[in-house]
Amino acid sequence: MVNKKFIGLVSAIALLGTPALSVAADSVKIGFVTTLSTGAGAIGKDMREAVDLAVDHLGGKMAGKDIEIIYEDDGFKPEIGKQKTDKLVKKDKVDFVAGYIWSHVLMASYKSVVDSDTFLISSNAGPSPVAGKLCHENFFSTSWQNDQTPMAMGEVLNQRGIKNLYIMAPNYAAGKNMVTGVERTFKGKIVGKDMTKFPAQLDFSAELAKVRAAKPDALFVFYPGKHGAQFMKQYSQAALAASVPLYTVFTVDSISLPRIGELADGSLMTQFWSPDLDVPANKKFVADFKAKYGHYPSHYAAQSYDSIMLINSAVEKVKGDLSNRDDTRNALRLAEFDSIRGNFKFGQNHMPIQNFYLRQVGKDPEGVYTTKVVDTVYVDHQDTYVKDCKLSW
Amino acid sequence: MNWLLLLEQVLNGFQLGILLFLLAAGLTLVFGIMDLVNLAHGSLYMMGAYFCATFTGWTDSFLLGALLAIPATFILGILVEVIALRNLYARDHLDQVLATFGLILFFNEFVRLVWGPIGLDIPLPAFLNSTVEVIPGVPYPTYRVAIILIGFFVAGLLYAIVSKTRMGMLIRAGASNREMIGALGINIKLLFTLVFGLGAALAALAGLMAGPILSVEIGMGDGILILTLVVIVIGGIGSIKGAFIAAIIVGLIDTVGRSFLPEILKLMVAEDSAATAAPAISSMLIYILMALVLAVRPQGLFPPKGVGR
């Protein structure tokens, strides 16, 4: 009996002394929602690696407080993403929620975070409502509004004299935005358009047959994550490259390149960032990322890294006192950090105003497939939905 | 109407139909004969693809990888039957659904542990990674032609086994009345095990053939399992012939619907709403067909003899 009481007492004292309890009150808590399971888990892994690297670069501290990152897996499903977000906000009481790869997952989780007066930093998804009508003072993005990247691609298509374009994209929030984007700037004729079921449809043979029959000057596609690798494989197997050149956004990235490099060699895409972008913060990020993980970071990783750096800039600015939400928000709005993209500032709707580049797949000096910037399409570009946003600051 | 395009879409439909048939054949054998609802059939499809990817990596040859993956999955199927499913034959369908659903979770987690979460690729040899002009003027991927040919060959082989051999006779008898063939002194346990292994091997063939087109990944069998269930419901449970015809019908409807429905809808509604509605409606088409079949002919289009009561 005595023994048991003794053990109980010791455990109680030990519990009181554990760092977790004493530190909890004095740490910056960041919930990070991404996809770690399913075939899209590779994207989540890249994002998590970037976040871990950012924490390393910050020495594990923001304004002298420990950084505590809680990763959650949305399982590629809006309803699970929302559940995990609710848990982060209500149970873990995090100071910031970041992450979100998928527009439909972000849309499902959006209100839970912003209404609870927690800051939401999107590290990828940029659906049009959150940039326009549904914009919120607590929402920030370190990526882009979905339309912007394909808008830049539309300009590239015009420059290259493409008259007839065929479009393929998955039928969900981001897919529709991407198509809207390219249609907004492309001046030629759209001879065909297929919106495929997402994420269920992985075989594009029927659509590729239609592309061949329609004989367009070019094919524009948006297939994120594993769908991109599938698409590139099938496009190559259908031997379309000779007759219908391919222009993509978010289809070929550093995650898929090790697997499909040869198939994507020379292919063109628009992006706000590239691993070879000549910016000091980017050089450090890419070099350290490659040294630590042995592969190139993707744009998902780059945006996630920036999310943590943005949060850090705000925490430093308010000297670790996150209790004053207005001060913290103002500090976030200033975005005083060295972004991996160089030029970066927030628009009225808290979406970035930034450059967009044309990049091309090729090999680096070591023979590894990566992307290189070949042209600047937009300088300091702002999304078109900002006019619908009622925020003022 | 573009006839070349229509022909190409028919080929695409056949190719999807063949994959569905290989899965449906195994599932319907198991369901029809053993009366076992095996939701884990899609997991065997996945395991076949993973085995093929692994063996292809070891041997550097897709053909060898495929040839090794089929017996490997056959053995795995037998192990699963002996260890887990044998005890479920006497239980009701709900228990079987729960237990085999558990197997799906098990296999998905098992694959994650062994092969990691990212998925694998099966590289195609150069002679398959090209195009041939099956229809003049339309280059079609050689590999997809190969899938169609192999599928028809296996369908023929299966037909020969089921209708001409002693094992096939027992299988047919089992599908009609399994108590009776047990009473006739047939080693029904061994027959069940072999049939299950055969089903697993067919699923593996479908999985490894799908591998180079789609990627090999966790849960790849879950989505196609639903389509397969639709196929056997339409074809008639326990009927190989029904599974074949229904698989081809479903493959054609899915592909042709996906490719021509937007144009057809555009004649009726505005272009924008047609573009949004078409993918949704085309993915519903086969379920609508299933509902119709269930309403008009609940035993399926081609039920095995003696079941059409």
Nearest by CB to residue B279, choosing from A197, A209, A226, is: A197
pLDDT of residue A12: 54
Secondary structure (3-state) at A5? helix
Query: How far apart are the CA of B124 and the nearest CA of chain A, in angstroms?
Result: 10
Cβ within 8 Å, pair B131-A239: yes
For chain A, say whether B308 makes contact (Cβ under 8 Å): no
Cα dihedral B270→B273→B277→B279 (10° resolution): 90
B120/chain A closest Cα distance in angstroms: 9
Q: Taking CA atoms, what residue in A is nearest to B140?
A: A238
Average pLDDT of chain A is 91
- The answer to whether A239 faces chain B, any CB pair under 8 Å, is yes
Contact (CB<8Å) A238/B16: no
> Minimal CA–CA distance to B204: which of B72, B48, B53?
B48
Q: In chain A, which residues have their Cβ closer than 8 Å to the Cβ of B144?
A: 205, 237
Q: Count chain A–chain B contacts defined by CB atoms under 8 A.
A: 99
Asked if residues B123 and B56 have their Cβ atoms less than 8 Å apart, the reply is yes
A113 touches chain B (CB under 8 A): no
Residue A24 pLDDT: 45
The predicted structure's pLDDT at residue B308: 44
Q: Which helix (H) or strand (E) holds B222?
A: helix B220-235
Distances (CA, A) of B34 to A190, B87, B94, B111, B269: 54, 12, 15, 27, 49
DSSP string, A278-318: --HHHHHHHHHHHHHHSS---HHHHHHHHHHHHHHHHHHHT
Secondary structure letter of residue A135 according to DSSP: -
Whether A238 and B4 lie within 8 Å, measured CB to CB: no
d(CA A351, CA B135): 51
Round to the nearest angstrom and report the end-to-end CA distance of chain A.
65
Residue A263: closest CA among A274, A254, A252, A278: A252
Optimal mutation site among B1, B12, B227, interface A, most CBs of chain A within 10 A:
B12
Distances (CA, A) of B51 to A301, B21, B26, B112, B114: 32, 21, 18, 14, 11
B4 near A CB under 8 A:
yes
| CB B148, CB B8: distance < 8 Å | no
Q: What is the dihedral of CA A18, A20, A23, A26, to 10 degrees?
A: -160
Give me the residues of B, 209-248, that contact A with CB < 8 A.
Answer: 212-215, 217-219, 223
Interchain contact A243–B (C-beta under 8 A): no
How does strand A352-363 pair with strand A345-346? antiparallel
Torsion sign across C-alpha atoms A24, A28, A32, A36? negative
CATH topology of domain B16-296: ABC transporter involved in vitamin B12 uptake, BtuC (1.10.3470)
pLDDT under 50: residue ranges of chain B:
308-309
Cα nearest neighbour of A203 on chain B: B214
pLDDT at position A336, please?
94
Q: Is A37 in contact with B117 (Cβ distance < 8 A)?
A: yes
Q: Which residues of B touch A202 (CB under 8 A)?
A: 214-215
Q: At which residue do the structure tokens 């693809």 appear?
A: B49
pLDDT score for B279: 74
Q: Per-residue confidence of chain A (393 residues) as pLDDT tens digits?
A: 445 655 655 555 555 444 444 344 589 999 999 999 877 888 999 999 999 999 999 999 999 999 999 999 999 999 999 999 999 999 999 999 999 999 999 999 999 999 999 999 999 999 999 999 999 999 999 999 999 999 999 999 999 999 999 999 998 889 999 999 999 999 999 999 998 888 888 899 999 999 999 999 999 999 998 899 889 989 988 889 889 999 999 999 999 898 888 889 999 999 999 999 999 999 999 999 999 999 999 999 999 999 999 999 999 999 999 999 999 999 999 999 999 999 889 999 999 999 999 999 999 999 999 999 999 999 999 999 999 999 998
- Give the number of residues written for chain B: 309
The CA R_g of chain A, rounded to the nearest whole Å, is 22
Q: CA-CA-CA-CA torsion for A266, A230, B146, B251, nearest 10 degrees?
A: -140
Question: Within an 8 Å CB–CB cutoff, is residue B123 touching chain A?
Answer: no
The first and second tokens of residue B287, run together, are 């379920």
Residue B185, helix vs strand vs coil: coil
Output the CA–CA distances (angstroms, integers) from residue A256 to A167, A202, A369, A385, B157, in the order listed.
Answer: 21, 15, 10, 31, 39
How far apart CA A95 and CA A366 sit, in angstroms, is 42
In this prediction, residue A15 carries a pLDDT of 52
pLDDT at A19: 46
CB contact under 8 A, B118 and A41: yes
Beta-carbon-side half-sphere exposure of residue A162 (alpha carbons within 13 Å):
29
Q: Are A120 and A129 in contact (CB under 8 A)?
A: no
DSSP A55-81: HHHTTTEETTEEEEEEEEE-TT-HHHH
Give B279's contacts in chain A (Cβ within 8 Å).
171, 194-197
In the three-class reduction of DSSP (H, G, I as helix; E, B as strand; rest coil), residue A139 is classed as strand
Helices then strands, each counted (H, E), chain A: 14, 14
Contact map slice: A 147-176 vs B, CB within 8 A: 171
Report the 10 Å Cβ neighbour count for B120.
19
Chain B (159-198) residues lying within 8 Å, Cβ to Cβ, of chain A: none
- What is the model's pLDDT at position A165? 97
**A215 in contact with B, Cβ within 8 Å:** no
